[in-house]
């Protein structure tokens, strides 16, 4: 389950930010996750619960913001939204899509004390 190591990365970001900004506790973490990031949201929530114990995020709530997959279609020239990496273009059915967004995994915002 690679969500566990992803969560460790997130926690690292939280601790670095806490050090820079001088807060000690986190109440809410907003995490942006793209549809094409290859992340299982349920596994992510579970991992966060495991990882946060005994850290500055011990009582923090995780809010996941799901971003759509975005691609540019070569044959029809449209920017389209896709669910998965190898989806066809919803406009023309072509598979010649260039992914332009939806691979994000980042901390968007924190509510801290």
73 binds Zn ion (CB under 5 A): yes
Region from 3-11, 41-49, 65-73, 104-112 binding Zn ion, contact rule CB under 5 A:
65-73
Should residue 92 be labelled a site residue for Zn ion when binding is judged by CB under 5 A? yes
Give the other-Cβ count within 10 Å of 85's Cβ.
Answer: 14
In the list 6, 36, 71, 89, the residue contacting Zn ion (rule: CB under 5 A) is 89
Within 1-113, strands assigned E span 26-34, 61-67, 69-73, 79-82, 97-101, 105-112
Min. distance of Cβ 3 from Zn ion in angstroms?
32
Nearer to Zn ion, 62 or 73 (CB): 73
Using rule CB under 5 A, residue 65 touches Zn ion: no
Strand order in the sheet with 26-34: 61-67, 26-34, 105-112
Residue 41 or residue 74: which is nearer to Zn ion going by CB? 74
Give residues 1-60 in contact with Zn ion (rule: CB under 5 A): none
Identify whether the C-beta of residue 80 lies closer than 8 Å to the C-beta of residue 92.
no
- Asked if 76 interacts with Zn ion (CB under 5 A), we say yes
Contacts of 62 (CB under 8 A, 6+ apart): 28, 29, 31, 44, 45, 48
Give the interface with Zn ion as residue ranges (CB under 5 A): 73, 76, 89, 91-92, 94
């Amino acid at each position: 389950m690679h969500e566990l190591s992803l969560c460790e990365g997130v926690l690292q970001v939280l601790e670095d930010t806490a050090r820079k900004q001088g807060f000690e506790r986190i109440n809410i973490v907003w995490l942006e996750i793209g549809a094409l990031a290859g992340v299982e949201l349920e596994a992510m929530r579970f991992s966060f619960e495991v990882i946060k114990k005994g850290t500055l995020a011990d009582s923090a709530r995780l809010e996941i913001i799901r971003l759509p997959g975005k691609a540019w279609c070569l044959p029809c020239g449209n920017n389209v939204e896709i669910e998965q990496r190898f989806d066809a273009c919803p406009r023309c059915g072509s598979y010649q899509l260039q992914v332009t967004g939806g691979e994000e995994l980042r901390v968007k915002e924190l509510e801290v004390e």
